[in-house]
Amino acid sequence: MKSKEAFQVFEQSITNYHVLDRVDQPYTNPYDSKSLAHLLYRKNWIDTVQWHYEDLIRDPNIDPVAALELKRKIDASNQDRTDTVEYIDSYYLDQFSSVEVVPDATINTESPAWALDRLSILALKIYHMKEESLRPSASEEHRVECASKLAVLETQREDLSSAIDQLLDDMATGRKTMKVYKQMKMYNDEALNPVLYTDKS
């Protein structure tokens, strides 16, 4: 799957979310559970819900108890996001497992899945910046400024998409190889976070 198709999956997820536009809405995935599209749709849905969590928690009038509950949801969402990225990288590891790697092959600074993670977030930025550039209640100055920012985001999308496609092509021909380092998030681990494992009795 090229970056163009991946971006279309992200756009579909974003559009579907905004039909109800609620963080607590039911989640359904239209793609086969064994497909890459299924993983990409899930990845972007997580990002989209978290985008709106982040909006909600910045309400200056939010109740502190509600804010703490929302922070817990954001933490869980971050873990879910990381796990899904690793599932996507596992897909690519399997896909390229039979490729004969050339002797001087190099490793990219980020894996295909983490590059696609950036593209997923970029899809959200483009969607919401476009909304702002067209918002009737905003000033003309605001809309013009957002339209200018939208143009930059679109250029960034083209550049990132090209880089992702090049990376996948290089991996398919053995010019690049990949390793997956599982994210070792310490603050969620009861055995590694001193706040969680210290006996306070």
Contact partners, residue 11, CB within 8 Å, separation at least 6: 123, 127
Give a yes or no: residue 82 inside a domain. Answer: yes
Give a yes or no: residue 178 inside a domain. Answer: yes
* Greatest pairwise CA separation for the chain in angstroms: 60
Asked whether 36 and 145 are in contact (CB, 8 A), the reply is no
Task: Note the pLDDT of residue 189.
Answer: 73
Give a yes or no: residue 174 inside a domain. Answer: yes
Give a yes or no: residue 126 inside a domain. Answer: yes
Task: Please write the tens of the pLDDT for every residue from 125-143.
Answer: 999 999 999 999 999 999 9
- Domain with 98, as residue range(s), is 3-187
Give a yes or no: residue 200 inside a domain. Answer: no
Asked whether 132 and 146 are in contact (CB, 8 A), the reply is yes
Report the number of distinct structural domains present in the chain.
Answer: 1
Give a yes or no: residue 78 inside a domain. Answer: yes
For residue 139, report the phi and psi dihedrals to the nearest 5 degrees. -75, 160
Collapsing DSSP states into helix, strand and coil, what is residue 34? coil
Cα–Cα distance for residue pair 177/8, rounded to 1 Å: 26
Number of H helices, E strands in the chain: 6, 2
Task: Please write the tens of the pLDDT for every residue from 81-103.
Answer: 999 999 999 999 999 999 999 99
Collapsing DSSP states into helix, strand and coil, what is residue 119? helix
Tokens coding 111 = 């894996």
Task: Note the pLDDT of residue 79.
Answer: 92
Tell whether the torsion through CA atoms of 163, 114, 120 and 28 is positive or negative.
positive
Task: Note the pLDDT of residue 156.
Answer: 98
Cα–Cα distance for residue pair 19/188, rounded to 1 Å: 33
Task: Note the pLDDT of residue 185.
Answer: 67
Give the pLDDT of the chain (201 residues) as one tens digit per residue. 899 999 999 999 999 999 999 999 999 999 999 999 999 999 999 999 999 999 999 999 999 999 999 999 999 999 999 999 999 999 999 999 999 999 999 999 999 999 999 999 999 999 999 999 999 999 999 999 999 999 999 999 999 999 999 999 999 999 999 987 776 667 767 777 787 777 655
Task: Note the pLDDT of residue 162.
Answer: 98
Cα–Cα distance for residue pair 131/154, rounded to 1 Å: 14
